[in-house]
Chain A
Amino acid sequence: MSDMLNQNAHLNPKVFDEDVEQVPSRNGFGEGLVLAGDENPNVVGLCADLTGSTKMQAFADKFPDRFIQIGVAEQNLVTIASGMAAVGKIPFTSSYAMFSPGRSWEQIRTTICYNDRSVKIIGSHAGISVGPDGATHQAIEDIAITRVLPNMVVIAPADSIEARKATVAMAKNGKPTYMRLSREKVPVITTESTPFEIGQALVLYTGSDPEKKDDAAIIACGTMVHRALLAAKALKEHKISVRVINCHTIKPLDKKTILQAAEECGAIVTVEEHQIYGGLGSAIAEVVSQNFPVPMKIIGVEDHFGESGEPNELLEKFGLTVDTIVKAVTQVLRMKEK
């Protein structure tokens, strides 16, 4: 089936294999921050008592003079970073997404976004796949609250390699930037050769040969991209051809790729490990409904808090499964026929 993978995406040839390598996306951030630190001495790292689990430790070890321990104080974390950015530093701040941008939101809005300062907000442990810690630690609102902010760039990488590339890229973009990371291991989808550019969505898979149009598009971000690929493969077996798009940048949204999918496929399913309100699906719907309306389904957590459990139990409970994606595609196809 891998012949249906977009050759230009240079995906991991093992992407559909059972034994595909699995790595948490936060690891890629840790590697990327060291690379960014090597490239530019103005890159500094700030952390709020979560240096190990947000993977900032490697940077702290390599550049101890450029690492700043803030303590459990996320509002201070982002505002200190804002001040440092005002005088030329490129601060990367890390915590769990629930606490930053969760707790630190207004400070991010006014002192970082309104000032248009190049501060990087790294929110790890996003989504319900955080598991046993429960709802208090499961950020499923972070895309909504960051993408609503003018000047903000919002990225949700699909795997560790993409997270590494995104980290290096955002050190150079000169903009307030939020990156959402996951705690759990996810399959490595991309490779060194996979193109990555902030704001550029990437078609990973097409169900039909390039001249023919696909029946539907699945647009996903973060931890759900791999499941979207599995769903496309399953649908292919039912003779339904699906295009899978990795929309790693939620803001600025790649309108061209999205609208092309709307026009050529005529039906869209979005998938994200986030509330259905205000996230990737909403962002896509805003663009599609106003430019080229087609039937859509938005898959995400439906107006609910998370809870304790193993990651897969929770993903199942909240309908973030390959099955749900397959069903949603058949639903949009029916809507399209009407």
Chain B
Amino acid sequence: MISDHDIKQLELKANDIRKDIIEMLVAAGSGHSAGPLGMADVFTALYFNILNIDPDKPEMDERDRLVLSNGHICPVLYATLARRGYFPVSELKTLRKFGTRLQGHPHRGTLPGLETTSGPLGSGLSQACGMAYAGRMDGKKWWVYCLTSDAEHDAGNLWEAVLFAGKYKLNNLTVIIDRNNIQIDGFTENIMPLEPLKDKYEAFGWHVIEIDGNNVQAVIDACNAAKGIENRPVVIIAHTIPGKGVDFMENRFEWHGIPPNIQDVGGAPDKLHQAQEALKELRTLGGKIRSEHE
């Protein structure tokens, strides 16, 4: 069991990661805001509680594998890896710049802690299935996590993997869906309806857990529960708020692919003050996150 105090610490950590995200994006002058902010709590729970990893030995064989399928939310991955000690936090400001290890979409090769290259949507789950299948073949104890977005469920490749994992009962695989209801052209249910998503996964032989993805405790509980499910792959549908923590970004699909301070967006401060406002909000949010849920 994790103590209330530790949960609070994780919530503060998630908030620091959100501030990093804003700062990185502003320095980069391009990149994605909504998804990364919405997933900060999931990343914090995974990297600071759930995953069996060692930043000093990023390639150790017994590590859990985390595949980020929706690569465009990599600012949250980079900020989390840096805060977890994989590389200096100061490197975050090189995001998307010429010569950086922090490519606009993650590239496995030079940056420690990345399991794969991603950005083109829909092909992470198949890779995760391949890892889980091979790991089971070799009797490995490590676990495979795959993070995907909701709009990735438009893609056939993803459902091919859902079928596969169901057939082979990949019980060393946990998928977490960023169910934030937005994609580029609008809300998912207008662009390409996904509901009833839970029923779809169940029909394909999966065990489904639905949670509030902005609640660190809920994420941790769901991941632990997933490990107890024996005969099936598990998907955690994490209902998140895109842009979480920055009022003017929350639930606005316009913020999918732009950083603060570049463009005037309806309902947001004028473009020069967006980052400043966002950071101010995040500072005052510190420590209050959990009480929001209560």
Interface positions of A (Cβ within 8 A of B)? 47-53, 69-73, 75-76, 98-99, 102-103, 131-137, 307-310, 313-314, 317
Interface pair A134/B192, CB less than 8 Å apart: no
Interface positions of B (Cβ within 8 A of A)? 28-31, 71, 96-100, 102-105, 107, 117-122, 151-152, 154-156, 183-185, 191-192
Interface pair B117/A136, CB less than 8 Å apart: yes
A310 partner residues in chain B, CB cutoff 8 A:
98
Interface pair A309/B120, CB less than 8 Å apart: no
Would you list 16 pairs from A and B whose C-beta atoms are within 8 A, ordered by A residue?
A: A47-B185, A52-B185, A70-B192, A71-B192, A72-B151, A73-B154, A75-B156, A76-B156, A103-B120, A136-B103, A136-B107, A136-B117, A137-B120, A308-B98, A308-B100, A309-B97
Most buried by A among B71, B100, B185: B185
A131 partner residues in chain B, CB cutoff 8 A:
30
Chain A residue at smallest Cβ distance from B117: A136
Q: A71-B151, A132-B28 known; 5 other A-B pairs, CB under 8 Å?
A: A72-B154, A131-B30, A132-B96, A134-B103, A308-B97
Chain A residue at smallest Cβ distance from B149: A72
What is the CA–CA distance of A70 and B30 in the complex, to the nearest angstrom?
26
Q: Decide yes or no: A307 and B103 within 8 Å by CB, A49-B183, A72-B154, A72-B183 being known contacts.
A: yes
Q: Decide yes or no: A49 and B28 within 8 Å by CB, A132-B104, A307-B103 being known contacts.
A: no
Interface pair A137/B119, CB less than 8 Å apart: yes
Partner of A49 from the list B31, B118, B154 (CB cut-off 8 Å) is B154
B122 partner residues in chain A, CB cutoff 8 A:
72
A53 partner residues in chain B, CB cutoff 8 A:
184
Chain B residue at smallest Cβ distance from A50: B184
B155 partner residues in chain A, CB cutoff 8 A:
72-73
What is the CA–CA distance of A47 and B191 in the complex, to the nearest angstrom?
11
A72 partner residues in chain B, CB cutoff 8 A:
121-122, 151-152, 154-155, 183, 192
Interface pair A71/B71, CB less than 8 Å apart: no
What is the CA–CA distance of A98 and B29 in the complex, to the nearest angstrom?
23
Within the complex, what minimum Cβ distance (angstroms) separates A89 from chain B? Answer: 21
Interface pair B192/A308, CB less than 8 Å apart: no
B100 partner residues in chain A, CB cutoff 8 A:
308
A52 partner residues in chain B, CB cutoff 8 A:
184-185
Q: Decide yes or no: A132 and B30 within 8 Å by CB, A49-B185, A310-B98 being known contacts.
A: yes
Within the complex, what minimum Cβ distance (angstroms) separates A269 from chain B? Answer: 27
Partner of A135 from the list B103, B184, B185 (CB cut-off 8 Å) is B103
Interface pair A133/B105, CB less than 8 Å apart: yes
Most buried by A among B28, B102, B154, B156: B154
A134 partner residues in chain B, CB cutoff 8 A:
96, 103-105, 107, 119
A71 partner residues in chain B, CB cutoff 8 A:
151, 154, 183, 191-192
Within the complex, what minimum Cβ distance (angstroms) separates A64 from chain B? Answer: 13
What is the CA–CA distance of A100 and B105 in the complex, to the nearest angstrom?
18
Within the complex, what minimum Cβ distance (angstroms) separates A97 from chain B? Answer: 12
B102 partner residues in chain A, CB cutoff 8 A:
308
Chain B residue at smallest Cβ distance from A102: B120
What is the CA–CA distance of A133 and B120 in the complex, to the nearest angstrom?
11
What is the CA–CA distance of A69 and B151 in the complex, to the nearest angstrom?
13
Chain A residue at smallest Cβ distance from B190: A69
Partner of B96 from the list A51, A308, A317 (CB cut-off 8 Å) is A308
What is the CA–CA distance of A188 and B105 in the complex, to the nearest angstrom?
31
Interface pair A136/B185, CB less than 8 Å apart: no
Chain A residue at smallest Cβ distance from B192: A71
What is the CA–CA distance of A48 and B99 in the complex, to the nearest angstrom?
31
Interface pair A49/B184, CB less than 8 Å apart: yes
Chain A residue at smallest Cβ distance from B120: A136
B29 partner residues in chain A, CB cutoff 8 A:
132
What is the CA–CA distance of A314 and B31 in the complex, to the nearest angstrom?
18
Q: Decide yes or no: A314 and B98 within 8 Å by CB, A69-B191, A72-B155, A308-B103 being known contacts.
A: yes
Q: Decide yes or no: A73 and B119 within 8 Å by CB, A51-B185, A132-B28, A308-B97 being known contacts.
A: no
Partner of B107 from the list A76, A132, A135, A317 (CB cut-off 8 Å) is A135
What is the CA–CA distance of A313 and B98 in the complex, to the nearest angstrom?
7
Interface pair B184/A137, CB less than 8 Å apart: no
B185 partner residues in chain A, CB cutoff 8 A:
47, 49-52, 69
A47 partner residues in chain B, CB cutoff 8 A:
185
Q: Decide yes or no: A132 and B31 within 8 Å by CB, A50-B184, A69-B191, A71-B154 being known contacts.
A: yes
What is the CA–CA distance of A131 and B191 in the complex, to the nearest angstrom?
27
Within the complex, what minimum Cβ distance (angstroms) separates A49 from chain B? Answer: 5
Chain A residue at smallest Cβ distance from B96: A132
A308 partner residues in chain B, CB cutoff 8 A:
96-98, 100, 102-104
A133 partner residues in chain B, CB cutoff 8 A:
30, 96, 104-105, 119
Within the complex, what minimum Cβ distance (angstroms) separates B208 from chain A? Answer: 22
Within the complex, what minimum Cβ distance (angstroms) separates B190 from chain A? Answer: 8
What is the CA–CA distance of A317 and B104 in the complex, to the nearest angstrom?
17
Within the complex, what minimum Cβ distance (angstroms) separates B119 from chain A? Answer: 3
Interface pair B71/A136, CB less than 8 Å apart: yes
Chain A residue at smallest Cβ distance from B31: A132
Q: Decide yes or no: A98 and B191 within 8 Å by CB, A133-B105, A137-B104, A308-B96 being known contacts.
A: no
What is the CA–CA distance of A75 and B119 in the complex, to the nearest angstrom?
17
Within the complex, what minimum Cβ distance (angstroms) separates B10 from chain A? Answer: 30
What is the CA–CA distance of A271 and B100 in the complex, to the nearest angstrom?
27
| Among all A-B residue pairs, the 10 with the closest Cβ atoms | A71-B192, A136-B119, A309-B98, A71-B154, A134-B104, A132-B96, A72-B154, A134-B103, A133-B104, A136-B105
Within the complex, what minimum Cβ distance (angstroms) separates A102 from chain B? Answer: 8
What is the CA–CA distance of A307 and B71 in the complex, to the nearest angstrom?
15
What is the CA–CA distance of A221 and B132 in the complex, to the nearest angstrom?
45
What is the CA–CA distance of A70 and B154 in the complex, to the nearest angstrom?
8
What is the CA–CA distance of A69 and B117 in the complex, to the nearest angstrom?
28
